[in-house]
């Protein structure tokens, strides 16, 4: 023992120990880089574990090495081992800020954010300038729904140079929960910063940005301001028009007014001035995103018709893209270029032939739609669209541009660590089905961020199938297919099965011949997981009233009908009947209105699925979360399901905002 002690205090031994610890830290850093492929991160973590094992054989009481091994164990899902290692490290050396940070992240993993906050605060006591500890407090505050406090923490991190994708993503999440009651230049600057960051799901902060814009353009603040000139130089408004939906009646009125003022100015001056071009392009992209939901006056429609007629003549004369650019922009303010009579003429040019600033608008209004139309031709359901006017073709919905930012992982790891399931018998590649994928955002996120899956995404809207397929090709995600239900039913009838079923938007009553419960029962292999939500969106009093009107008057899902129904709601916006509907961002697009009013989700489909999984012989509830994502004890939820299935008078699970996971027993 004396000889070993002397060896450990030998300078050469200490230098070698420090070198090995530095090497292990560098290796762990590679394993923890979110932009690195999952397989490479796992390989680095294995290498780090081996390095630490060798190091701890040399110096078993090395506090830093034990703490780092705890991080490795935590990343591998071994949370109790990790906790023990962190505690042992602190016993050996009690003043380590890093170990309190590690314990903070451990507490976040086990869903104890208040305890995590305490650990991070202890870390700051030992290292007052620790950005990791300060950021940890922000995460803990956010998970305790203290969004305003967390938001200010994230702002501080960004302004002090400690920003990364996770910080921006978390700040965006907090912003989606904030209310803005006064004009605040700092909030406006924050919003601009977030919208300028790529790879964020910016649509989450649509309402936040609306509140900022509403304060800025309020009549009391605008006064004699030239609204058109102010909007043309408003960076926040221009970014928002180009990227997101703005779900607010007042902001929609502002945008509608700006479009009208712009077109009137152009008609009076005879040209689209350089200073107004960015605003015109932004308004065009926004109109396309809403499915052309914005109200249009008769004189605007007449002007748009004249411009379209003149464009046809210009194309026949062989005018170049530069020569027709201004007129094309104005046309795109009122309708998709792909649906105009001159659309075939646009096909003679590639997207890059147009002026650079116009290309995003041209892509959205013509080229992307042409791409999606080509996808539709592969499916028999295309025949159902042939009788529709071009303007009445359903819009893919929801509109989105960016996937939520996540770190690549493995479905097998999630099943083992998050759900506590045995995965040894599962194949290397798992098959996952998303039922009701809508326009594909969630399905594409699963395909991109899970390294071991093949995804089958299914929806009853052919527009959604086409949009998802096009987005998958555009983003080089090749482990996913988008199908209409007819193809999925054929796939299931052929005996194919999957290892995970994700139930998104429910089929509508129009799909009376489809039983989602039966399909899930057939496609779910032994041990498969079914994930669903127990509530249904789009059930406001206003929605139910509009569906009654549609039924009573036999209304058809045409563009004019949808615009008239929206106008009725907006004209009566002060009435209690419409308040919840006006709070729903899906109302601010014709695609969203079409789905909720003419293709509503079927409550009977959800009831049937819940009845199926209530069979405890075949299904086991393995996890339940509330609307905030917090885990719930499964016992009470299972008891409620059991009593409801037996006909007891208990509160129905249907309508509660729960996220539940069931595993097939056999």
Pairwise pLDDT comparison (512 vs 432), residue with the higher score: 432
**Mean pLDDT of the region 514-522:** 96
**Mean pLDDT of the region 120-142:** 97
The answer to whether residue 171 is domain-embedded is no
What is the CATH number for 626?
3.40.50.150
**Mean pLDDT of the region 58-87:** 96
The pLDDT tens digits for 579-595 are 999 999 999 999 999 99
Select from 155, 115, 110, 107 the least CA-distant residue to 135.
155
Residues 210 and 345 in one domain: yes
The answer to whether residue 592 is domain-embedded is yes
Instruction: Give the span between the Cα atoms of 105 and 73, in whole angstroms.
Output: 13
Contacts 24+ apart (CB under 8 A), 549-557: 550/597, 550/598, 557/392, 557/394, 557/594, 557/597, 557/598, 557/599
The answer to whether residue 77 is domain-embedded is yes
Residue 245: DSSP 8-state: -
The answer to whether residue 158 is domain-embedded is no
Return mean pLDDT, the chain: 94
| Domain limit, last residue, from 324, 358, 384 | 384
Instruction: Give the span between the Cα atoms of 224 and 221, in whole angstroms.
Output: 9
Residues 108 and 224 in one domain: no
Q: What is the pTM of this model?
A: 0.93
Residues 316 and 259 in one domain: yes
The answer to whether residue 177 is domain-embedded is no
Q: How far apart, in Å, do the first and last CA atoms of the chain sit?
A: 57
Instruction: Give the span between the Cα atoms of 111 and 457, in whole angstroms.
Output: 31
What is the CATH number for 12?
1.25.40.10
Residues 135 and 243 in one domain: no
What pLDDT score does 220 carry? 61
Residues 358 and 432 in one domain: no
Concatenating the DSSP letter of every residue in 362-388 gives: HIIIIIHHHHHHHHHTTSGGGGGGTTS
Instruction: Give the span between the Cα atoms of 223 and 507, in whole angstroms.
Output: 49
Whether the pLDDT of residue 648 is over 50: the answer is yes
Confidence grade of residue 223 (pLDDT, cut at 50, 70, 90): low
The answer to whether residue 49 is domain-embedded is yes
- Neighbour count for residue 562 (Cβ, 10 Å): 25
| Domain limit, last residue, from 358, 384, 410 | 384
What pLDDT score does 213 carry? 97
Instruction: Give the span between the Cα atoms of 91 and 63, in whole angstroms.
Output: 8
Q: At 427, give phi and psi (nearest 5°).
A: -70, 170
Residues 525 and 462 in one domain: yes
Residues 362 and 401 in one domain: no
What pLDDT score does 16 carry? 87
Residues 505 and 633 in one domain: yes
Whether the pLDDT of residue 64 is over 50: the answer is yes
What pLDDT score does 7 carry? 52
Instruction: Give the span between the Cα atoms of 173 and 147, in whole angstroms.
Output: 8
What pLDDT score does 8 carry? 55
Q: If you search the block for the tokens 């032994």, which residue do you land on?
A: 526
Q: What percent of the chain has pLDDT over 70?
A: 97
| Domain limit, last residue, from 384, 406, 431 | 384
**Mean pLDDT of the region 93-121:** 97
Instruction: Give the span between the Cα atoms of 520 and 415, in whole angstroms.
Output: 19
Select from 100, 72, 66, 97 the least CA-distant residue to 84.
66
The answer to whether residue 155 is domain-embedded is no
**149 burial type by CB count under 10 A (0-12 exposed, 13-18 middle, 19+ buried):** middle
For the chain, the domain total comes to 3
The pLDDT tens digits for 346-395 are 999 999 999 999 999 999 999 999 999 999 999 999 999 999 999 999 99
Residues 319 and 406 in one domain: no
**Mean pLDDT of the region 283-305:** 96
Whether the pLDDT of residue 330 is over 90: the answer is yes
Whether the pLDDT of residue 619 is over 60: the answer is yes
Confidence grade of residue 649 (pLDDT, cut at 50, 70, 90): low
Boundaries of domain holding 579 = 385-666
Sign for the pseudo-dihedral over CA of 473, 475, 479, 484: negative
Contact 514, 489 (CB under 8 A): yes
Confidence grade of residue 265 (pLDDT, cut at 50, 70, 90): very high
**Mean pLDDT of the region 217-241:** 84
Residues 370 and 405 in one domain: no
What pLDDT score does 1 carry? 44
Residues 100 and 211 in one domain: no
Whether the pLDDT of residue 2 is over 60: the answer is no
The answer to whether residue 167 is domain-embedded is no
Instruction: Give the span between the Cα atoms of 474 and 440, in whole angstroms.
Output: 13
Residues 640 and 499 in one domain: yes
Whether the pLDDT of residue 225 is over 90: the answer is no
Q: Is 624 helix (H, G, I), strand (E, B) or coil?
A: strand
């Amino acid at each position: 023992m004396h000889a070993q002690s002397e060896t450990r205090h030998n300078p050469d031994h200490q230098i070698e120990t420090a070198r090995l610890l530095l090497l292990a830290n560098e290796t762990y850093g590679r394993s923890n880089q979110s932009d690195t492929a999952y397989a490479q991160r796992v390989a680095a973590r294995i290498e780090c574990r081996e390095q630490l094992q060798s190091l701890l054989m040399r110096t078993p009481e090395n506090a830093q090495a034990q703490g780092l091994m705890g991080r490795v164990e935590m990343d591998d899902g071994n949370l109790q081992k990790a906790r023990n290692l962190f505690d042992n490290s602190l016993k050996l050396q009690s003043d380590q800020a890093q170990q309190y940070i590690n314990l903070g992240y451990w507490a976040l993993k086990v869903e104890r954010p208040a305890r995590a906050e305490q650990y991070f605060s202890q870390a700051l006591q030992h290292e007052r300038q620790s950005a990791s500890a300060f950021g940890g407090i922000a995460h803990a505050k956010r998970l305790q729904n203290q969004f305003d406090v967390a938001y200010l923490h994230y702002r501080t991190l960004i302004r002090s140079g400690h920003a990364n994708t996770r910080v921006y993503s978390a700040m965006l999440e907090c912003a989606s929960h904030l209310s803005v009651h006064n004009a605040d230049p700092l909030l406006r600057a924050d919003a601009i910063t977030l919208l300028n960051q790529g790879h964020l799901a910016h649509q989450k902060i649509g309402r936040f940005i609306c509140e900022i814009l509403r304060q800025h353009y309020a009549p009391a603040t605008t006064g004699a301001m030239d609204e058109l000139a102010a909007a043309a130089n408003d960076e926040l408004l221009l970014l928002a028009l180009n990227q997101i939906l703005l779900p607010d009646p007042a902001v929609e009125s502002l945008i509608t007014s700006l479009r009208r003022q712009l077109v009137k100015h152009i008609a009076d001056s005879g040209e689209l001035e350089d200073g107004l071009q960015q605003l015109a392009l932004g308004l065009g992209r926004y109109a396309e995103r809403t499915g052309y939901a914005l109200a249009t006056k008769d004189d605007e429609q007449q002007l748009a018709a004249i411009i379209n007629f003149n464009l046809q003549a210009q194309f026949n004369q062989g005018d170049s893209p530069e020569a027709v650019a201004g007129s094309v922009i104005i046309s795109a303010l009122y309708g998709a270029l792909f649906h105009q009579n001159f659309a075939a003429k646009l096909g003679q040019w590639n997207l890059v032939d147009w002026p650079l600033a116009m290309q995003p608008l041209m892509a959205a209004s013509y080229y992307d739609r042409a791409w999606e139309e080509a996808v539709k031709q592969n499916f028999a359901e295309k025949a159902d669209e042939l009788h529709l006017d071009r303007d009445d073709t359903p819009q893919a919905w929801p509109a989105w541009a960016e996937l939520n930012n996540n770190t690549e992982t493995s479905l097998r790891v999630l099943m083992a660590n998050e759900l506590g399931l045995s995965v040894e018998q599962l194949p290397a590649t798992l098959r996952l089905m998303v039922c009701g994928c809508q326009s594909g955002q969630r399905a594409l996120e699963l395909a991109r961020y899970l390294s071991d899956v093949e995804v089958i995404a299914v929806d009853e809207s052919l527009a959604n199938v086409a949009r998802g397929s096009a987005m998958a090709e555009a983003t080089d995600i090749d482990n996913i297919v988008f199908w209409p239900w007819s193809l999925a039913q054929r796939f299931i009838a052929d005996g194919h099965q999957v290892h995970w079923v994700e139930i998104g938007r429910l089929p509508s009553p129009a799909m009376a011949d489809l039983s989602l419960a039966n399909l899930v029962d057939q496609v779910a292999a032994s041990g498969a997981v079914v994930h669903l939500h127990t509530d249904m969106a789009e059930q406001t009093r206003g929605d139910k009233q509009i569906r009654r009107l549609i039924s009573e008057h036999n209304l058809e899902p045409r563009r004019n009908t949808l615009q008239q129904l929206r106008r009725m709601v907006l004209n009566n916006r002060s009435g209690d009947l419409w308040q919840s509907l006006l709070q729903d961002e899906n109302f601010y697009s014709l695609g969203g209105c079409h789905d909720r009013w003419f293709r509503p989700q079927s409550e009977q489909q959800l009831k049937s699925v819940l009845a199926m999984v209530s069979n405890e012989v075949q299904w086991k509830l393995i996890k339940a979360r509330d609307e905030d994502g917090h885990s719930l004890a499964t016992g009470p939820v299972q008891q409620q399901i059991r009593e409801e299935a037996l006909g007891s008078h208990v509160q129905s699970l249907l309508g509660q905002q729960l996220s539940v996971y069931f595993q097939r027993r056999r």
